[in-house]
Structure 1
């Protein structure tokens, strides 16, 4: 039989243990989040790796089993530019100022293609991620933001064709080229806000999947991407109100910054302000209703 060996503990150690203060108890309080609570930036920073993974997933899925792959990011604005150059540039003789019309159209279609795709993809993103939402918790806002992030990658790829066209037509950008990221940032904010709003609405009202393409198509004709804002085409009063359409002022100033033109500070400031308002309005509404996504979707 085995015998149990007694272990002697010094009296000083026992006295020290008895005199020691008990460790403080950690209390975790679980409370419902306010429906209009602001963004918890720390939560999104901790989930940044998930955001990068979802962006990469969206890019891979978009070009999976395609013959041209990421070249479609270039072909979409390029083919649209060719069509508009044929009908508007040669047949309708639409004015493009001092720029060749193909370059004029491409510098407008490039940011517009990013904005339109970002709004469309993010607006349908939450419904398309049904299995992910119903199985694990993570900040839901990451899903529409990842769709916008994937559009940024397409935009950067297509910028290579913009450089080629500028070399072909001999257009050398000036110092204003350094300001080109500013209107793109505004488009990112506007697309994120509008896309988040549409994504939240699409969960409850599935007919928004038909509204989104129609809305984007109408929005393009309301934005001077392939025509100029001149007194002959647009009345002065309407030209003052056009920057309320964020895509209008941001795209026109992107074109001016890239091609060395003069920036319109009025339209840039108004459109940038509208983009910021749309971003916070869309994000706050998304946060307000996201708690019910798993039950409704």
Structure 2
């Protein structure tokens, strides 16, 4: 079983590792935390030119720049946490083999350290809403639920990948292009309404579908797509619980193979 009391006991270590992850990401960087804005913003501009301008992808009547950024914002957090979580145990192999602490602290610190980028990127959302004269509706009250779903999904998958990466080093190499493929399995450059109805029941099981469409609905004052949110919420809970138990099961072997 997962010992939550033990995790709480090591909260100072979690804080230190989270802070270290943030500092390491921006150490000796000229632009510093500005990269948290520059990277998604320029990716959004490219998507707007290619998919919104050349391919004429339907954005459900929304400005494509805002349409794609509201999707890239949570997606970049999800993809970033997968990469950092998968490498968290390998990068801290010396700690694992020399001292005891709850190993779950490592992927958890990766998920928490990426929250800074997520919060900073929100500045661009505010700027775009002002520029396009969009006013969020009451759906913005649902954002904590959507963010919790995003965190649970990220941490659940991250724990599975981090545990697998210790034993199978192929995970680290495969994750780079898997994340790129998953980008197009989520409604980042297109709308969920473009998915054929015959495949929609399976498609909405992807937790990121409900998160992305929920964020769009919240900030653009549109009806909250609960029929797309609740299936992904259930899958996020399953992934989170499975990830914790799988990580706990594999934890006893980390020191032997790290």
Query: Residues 237-252 of structure 1: matches in 2 within 5 Å?
Result: 237-252=198-213
- Equivalence for 1:222: 185
1:122 to 2:85 alignment: yes
Query: Residues 68-83 of structure 1: matches in 2 within 5 Å?
Result: 68-83=31-46
How far does residue 273 in structure 1 lie from its aligned partner after superposition? Answer: 0.6
How far does residue 183 in structure 1 lie from its aligned partner after superposition? Answer: 1.3
Q: Give the TM-score normalised by the residue count of structure 2.
A: 0.97
- Equivalence for 1:15: none
How far does residue 214 in structure 1 lie from its aligned partner after superposition? Answer: 1.8
- Equivalence for 1:20: none
How far does residue 99 in structure 1 lie from its aligned partner after superposition? Answer: 1.5
Structure 2 alignment gaps of length 5 or more: none
1:34-54 Cα deviation digits (max 9, x unpaired):
xxxx21111111111111111
- Matched position secondary structure for 2:42: helix
How far does residue 176 in structure 1 lie from its aligned partner after superposition? Answer: 0.9
Q: Give the TM-score normalised by the residue count of structure 1.
A: 0.85
> CA separation in 2, counterparts of 1:242 and 1:250?
13
Structure 1 segments of 4+ aligned residues over 3 angstroms from their partners: none
1:90 to 2:31 alignment: no
> CA separation in 2, counterparts of 1:259 and 1:143?
36
Query: Residues 122-141 of structure 1: matches in 2 within 5 Å?
Result: 122-141=85-104
Query: Residues 33-52 of structure 1: matches in 2 within 5 Å?
Result: 38-52=1-15
Asked which structure has the greater RCO (Cα within 8 Å, sep 6+), the reply is 2
* Larger CA Rg, structure 1 vs 2: 1
- Equivalence for 2:250: 289
Contact 2:167 2:257 in 1 (8 A): yes
1:274 to 2:235 alignment: yes
Structure 1 alignment gaps of length 5 or more: 1-37
> CA separation in 2, counterparts of 1:236 and 1:120?
32
> CA separation in 1, counterparts of 2:40 and 2:5?
37
> CA separation in 2, counterparts of 1:186 and 1:229?
18
How far does residue 101 in structure 1 lie from its aligned partner after superposition? Answer: 0.6
1:196-235 Cα deviation digits (max 9, x unpaired):
10111110111111111122111111111121122xx321
> CA separation in 2, counterparts of 1:237 and 1:152?
36
Larger helix percent = 2
How far does residue 240 in structure 1 lie from its aligned partner after superposition? Answer: 2.1
- Equivalence for 2:225: 264
1:164 to 2:135 alignment: no
Number of residue-to-residue matches in the alignment: 258
How far does residue 185 in structure 1 lie from its aligned partner after superposition? Answer: 1.0
1:231-278 Cα deviation digits (max 9, x unpaired):
xx3210212221111111211112111221111112111101100100
How far does residue 181 in structure 1 lie from its aligned partner after superposition? Answer: 2.0
Contact 2:192 2:209 in 1 (8 A): no
> CA separation in 1, counterparts of 2:62 and 2:221?
10
- Matched position secondary structure for 1:244: coil
